[in-house]
Amino acid sequence: MANVDSVTIRVFSLNCWGIRYLSKHCRQRYVMIGDMLCKEEHDIVLLQEVWSEKDYLFLKKKLVCSHPHSHYFKSGVIGSGLAIFSKHRIHDTFLYRYSLNGYPYMANHGDWFGGKAVGMAVLSIGSLTANVYVTHLHAEYCREKDSYLPHRVVQSWELQQFVRHTSAGADVVILGGDLNMHPEDLGNRLLRSYTGLRDSYVETSNFHGCENGLTLLGDNPFISKKELGSFEKGIRIDYILYKGSSKTDICCESMSTTKGSVPGHPFPYSDHEALTAELRLESHAASESGRNKQSEDQESDTEKVAELVDIVTEARTEVKVGLHCAERMRYTATRTAAMGLALLFLELVIAAVPWLALGAEQPFPRTSFYLLAVLCFVILLTTSLLYIFYTMEVKSLQGAEDQMRLALGGLQEKLRGFPLAQPHNAQRKSPEGEEPSAFDPEE
């Protein structure tokens, strides 16, 4: 396979829903997944929610012949749940932990403990260098009132930054995983527009699988219909994205998803459907086709930059909303701490100056005194921890917002630089300053 001019690779992605003792039929499903992967021999297998290292090791053992190279990304308390198996040599790996990932006290949602991240592996496919990314973003528990939206937007922002900045040396970029976002959700648009990654499902003309490419099906036995809300049939939240480089063209020859049930088995592989994309890579001389394309694409480039300005502005607004919430929560924690402190002070005063007590003849009851003191301490401890946590959240949101503002400045500079962009730019500037913040990058 060395020095190939053209090669086809098969990429697989699945959210395994592998919470030991909690996920239904976990053990049996891993056996099914292992058997299938062993048989199918995909070039690259990207798994999410492999929460237990034991399950990863089980798969590793099972796939030792078909996929001799593998890596398990560790992060957070029980996570990251990300694993990669490959037929091609993995040279290098790198993990980026998202700065925001839910709240530790939302233990029922558990995302915080998963330490969500994006894992990168550098692979050699023949003579080509492929940067392969696997990720899993924060879940969406309630679409109508999604308190995690700012976190997911910041995760998307960091994901696109990570992919963009680490893939400059790669011939091919492949990203797979559970993005927990509908195809046209803000974070998804941000990721695709900024990185230039293309969606296998959209790009291929040869698709087999669930209607509309759904990956979370309404009739999956492990899913309660309630979770899907108004999307009764299901939603598409798992993706395989890709892009080439100046040296390599890439296209999606075919794409498929599992359709719920697995022949010969009483239940599916997971609560998500598995994705398989067949990608054709073709290496060519960088200069020629690249340069021809460049002049052709100038007009569409302008469009793209203008679109990106809109998307980043939208993301920035969302981050600002999150910032407002985080600051309010931090303020609440501070106020509660102050009340706890005041209560403690009052109690000490009452105890120290017995004649202040209402019934002067009987002293402050000892049991009540201790209980009240303990209550004050618990309040102070909890609010201090919350204050620290919210301050970190505020810092992360502010940091993302600063970066977005800087990026917007650069994009608008670029727009002004495009000869074709002038009218567009002028037009965007005029409508009664509806989004002035996008135009003051150095504010």
Q: Under the rule (CB under 8 A), what is the footprint of a second copy?
A: 71-79, 90-97, 99, 104, 113, 115, 120, 161-162, 165-166, 168-170, 366-367, 370-371, 374, 381, 385, 388, 391-392, 395-396, 398-399, 402-403, 406-407, 410
Residue in 192, 390, 190, 401 with CA at minimum distance from that of residue 309: 190
Tell me whether residue 22 or residue 142 sits nearer to a second copy (CB atom): 22
Q: Which is nearer to a second copy, 83 or 228 (CB)?
A: 83
Given the residues 272, 284, 324, 424, the one annotated as active site: 272
Q: How far is the CB of 359 from a second copy (least distance, A)?
A: 19
- Residue 202 contacts by C-beta under 8 Å, 6 or more apart in sequence? 183
Which letter does DSSP use for residue 264 in this model?
A: T
Nearer to a second copy, 230 or 367 (CB): 367
CB of 276 to a second copy, least distance (A): 26
Distance, C-alpha 46 to centroid of its chain: 14
Residue 293 CB, shortest distance to a second copy, in Å, is: 19
* Nearest CB to a second copy, comparing residues 277 and 337: 337
Distances from the Cα of 191 to the Cα of 164, 252, 356, 403, angstroms: 10, 19, 64, 15
Q: Under the phi-then-psi rule, with left for phi > 0, alpha for psi from -120 to 50, and beta for the rest, what region is 301?
A: alpha
Cβ atoms of 273 and 215 closer than 8 Å: yes
Residue 183: CB minimum distance to a second copy, A:
26
208 is catalytic: no
Q: What angle do CA 297, 130, 89 make, to 5 degrees?
A: 170
> What is the 3-state composition of the chain as percent helix, strand, coil, each rounded to the nearest 5?
45, 20, 30
Cα 85 from Cα 38, distance rounded (Å): 11
Angle at 397 between CA 392 and CA 398, to 5 degrees: 95
Q: What are phi and psi of 20, to 5 degrees?
A: -55, 140
* Min CB(392)–a second copy separation in Å: 6
Name the residue nearer to a second copy (CB basis): 406 or 426. Answer: 406
Catalytic residues: 272
